[in-house]
Amino acid sequence: MSYDLTAKLIDTHCHLDFPEYDSDREDVIRRAKEKGIGYIINIGSSLQGSRRAQGLSEKYDCVYATVGIHPHEADGFESNFLRELEPLAKKEKVVAIGEIGLDYFKNYSKQENQRNLFIALIKLAKTLNLPLVIHSRQAHKETLGILRAAMPVRAVVHCFSGPLEFLNECLELGFFISFTCNITYKKADNLRQFLKLTPLEKLFLETDAPFLPPEGYRGKRNEPWFVRILAEEIARLKNIEVEEVARVTTDNAKKFFNLR
């Protein structure tokens, strides 16, 4: 990894507000900058987490934030949460609503509550003209149904896991796709195939840190600079230079999130 990147990489999805970073958050951000990560987007996944994400964006120049409520939190959703999220979403370095969506794999919240929350947060995003960061797990048909009904929307489907039909429909709708470092796992052949089928012009890079560290680091905490390893794997799979991966994915994300 001795190459120099003229286009700084962007970790478009991580959770630096989580307690896993409480002891060394500044060191984690410093390492990312030293490794050529120009922007880090910290994702809000609860009302409290959205507040923390926005606070980090004020404290660190390279950190931007999204605000949102994860489908796991849907059972605890109250209408006043939207009144609290809206002023957060209007802050200068808040760049999207997310992560939001549906998760029928864990089903930590009732599916009806997940759908109601998802629809309410899409409406907020449209009101504020902000893009969406989508979480969808084993709920692809309903996710697409809700998004189609809300079109036009700008969205990225994060930590993509398939199936192929979902990928094709997301691309047809103009959505972006982001993959994590789990494409480096030995048994991730399906993910690598999805990655190959996704045009570079529709790709973002993400770590989803502290989760899903790359092969060779499994069992350890993930952190934003590992997005560099992800870029290398994408370059290998697409048989292109890593500098091209950096240039195109960075340009994609800067335009989508309106990064400055």
Residue 7: what pLDDT? 75
Query: Encoding tokens for residue 260?
Result: 């400055």
Q: 2 in a domain, yes or no?
A: no
pLDDT band at 190 (very low <50, low <70, confident <90, very high): very high
Share of the chain above pLDDT 70, in %: 98
pTM assigned to the model:
0.96
CATH number at residue 122: 3.20.20.140
- Which of 138, 192, 202 lies closest to 168, judged by CA? 202
Cα 168 from Cα 190, distance rounded (Å): 14
Domain range spanning residue 87? 9-257
Q: 1 in a domain, yes or no?
A: no
Residue 89: what pLDDT? 98
Q: Give pLDDT tens digits for 54-93.
A: 999 999 999 999 999 999 999 999 888 999 999 999 999 9
pLDDT band at 162 (very low <50, low <70, confident <90, very high): confident
Residue 3: what pLDDT? 62
Query: Encoding tokens for residue 197?
Result: 């089928």
Q: Following DSSP, what letter does each residue of 191-237 receive, concatenated?
A: HHHHHHHS-GGGEEE---BTS-PPTTSTTS---GGGHHHHHHHHHHH
Residue 2: what pLDDT? 55
Q: Give pLDDT tens digits for 241-250.
A: 999 999 999 9
Tell whether the model's pLDDT for residue 136 goes beyond 80.
yes
Centre a 10 Å sphere on the Cβ of residue 121 and count the other Cβ atoms it contains. Answer: 24
Residues 184-201 have a mean pLDDT of 98
- Which of 3, 4, 9 lies closest to 259, judged by CA? 9
Share of the chain above pLDDT 90, in %: 95
Query: Encoding tokens for residue 133?
Result: 């960061």
Q: 250 in a domain, yes or no?
A: yes
β-strand partners of 67:
97
Q: 96 in a domain, yes or no?
A: yes
Tell whether the model's pLDDT for residue 227 goes beyond 60.
yes
β-strand partners of 100:
134
Domain count, the chain: 1
Q: 237 in a domain, yes or no?
A: yes
Q: 3 in a domain, yes or no?
A: no
What distances in angstroms separate CA 6 from CA 49, 229, 243, one per listed residue? 33, 16, 7
Contacts of 201 (CB under 8 A, 6+ apart): 248, 252
What does the radius of gyration of the chain's CA atoms come to, in whole angstroms? 17
